[in-house]
Structure 1
Amino acid sequence: MSVQEVLQAALVEALAGLAVTRVFDAPPVRAARPYALVEEAWLADWSTKDMAGREGRFAVALFDTGERPARLRALAGAAEAAIEAMPRVLGEGWAIASLTLLRSRIARDGDARWTAMSEFRVRMLRSEY
């Protein structure tokens, strides 16, 4: 599995306990709100002299309905906590060296529709080739 697939699978698994209809790893064609979307990570080389490494940015989007985003605020907080608490060992030799929330935002997305976006930076090292 590629490092992209390993990271994506770990993120989807970390969010599995959220009170949403489903956690998607790609934009859905149709979905009932609230749902979560783990967007594809942008990865760059972060290797050391003797270990392969990647640094990347990824975002988790949450989509909900309602006149106010109260439920979405709670979901966004739960999603951020779940990602920060995910296991550091991802599999295939990859492990998280650091994981940082960069920014988050909730915005109106039409009538009675809301979107929350949380963006993270991750740095990973591979202990075996």
Structure 2
Amino acid sequence: MSLHEVLATALAQALRTHAPLGVAINGVFDAPPARAVRPYAVVEEAVLTDWSTKDMAGREGRLTIALFDLGERTSRLRALTGEVSAALAAVPRDLGEGWRIVSLDFVRSRVVREGEARTAAIIEFRVRVLQAN
């Protein structure tokens, strides 16, 4: 499995098993779903760059989780954004395939209106991983 797949799987699993999110959203997807009832989450494709050392392969990247909701008010979406951060804090450091998370840090989030009674939140994290040889 590629690092992209390993990361996406770990993130999706963390979101699905985090109890406050599990009861609040209708699914976690790896791409925008054709048919899904809001609120739901999408684990977007990671953007990775080289972060290798002399003796270990490494990557640094940006991870983005998008939340989509219905309603005029954004209070529920803001609360869910906080739960995403809490869920990702529980991601296991050993990802598999020899990859290990060195750091996983919140970078920024933003809530935007997508039209009448439709909102989205974008939550971005920085991840640094190394692969044992």
Q: Is the TM value for this pair above 0.5?
A: yes
Q: For the residues of structure 1 that align with 2:97 and 2:126, how far apart are their CA atoms? A: 20
SS of residue in 1 equivalent to 2:104: strand
SS of residue in 1 equivalent to 2:26: coil
Aligned equivalent of 1:43: 48
Aligned equivalent of 1:85: 90
Q: Which has the higher helix share?
A: 2
Deviation at 1:94, TM superposition (A): 0.5
SS of residue in 2 equivalent to 1:11: helix
Aligned equivalent of 1:12: 12
Q: For the residues of structure 2 that align with 1:70 and 1:97, how far apart are their CA atoms? A: 33
5+ residue gaps, structure 1: none
Deviation at 1:84, TM superposition (A): 2.2
Under a length normalisation based on structure 1, what TM-score does the superposition of the two structures give? 0.95
| TM superposition outliers: structure 1 runs of 4+ over 2 Å | none
- Matching of residue 25 in structure 1 with residue 56 in structure 2: no
Aligned equivalent of 1:3: 3
Which letter does structure 2 place at the counterpart of 1:7?
L
SS of residue in 2 equivalent to 1:123: strand
3-12 or 80-89, which deviates more: 80-89
Which letter does structure 1 place at the counterpart of 2:14?
A
Which letter does structure 1 place at the counterpart of 2:6?
V
Q: For the residues of structure 1 that align with 2:59 and 2:31, how far apart are their CA atoms? A: 21
Aligned Cα RMSD in Å?
0.9
Residue-pair matches, total: 128
Aligned equivalent of 1:107: 112
- Matching of residue 95 in structure 1 with residue 105 in structure 2: no
85-94 or 32-41, which deviates more: 85-94
Deviation at 1:45, TM superposition (A): 1.0
Identity %: 63
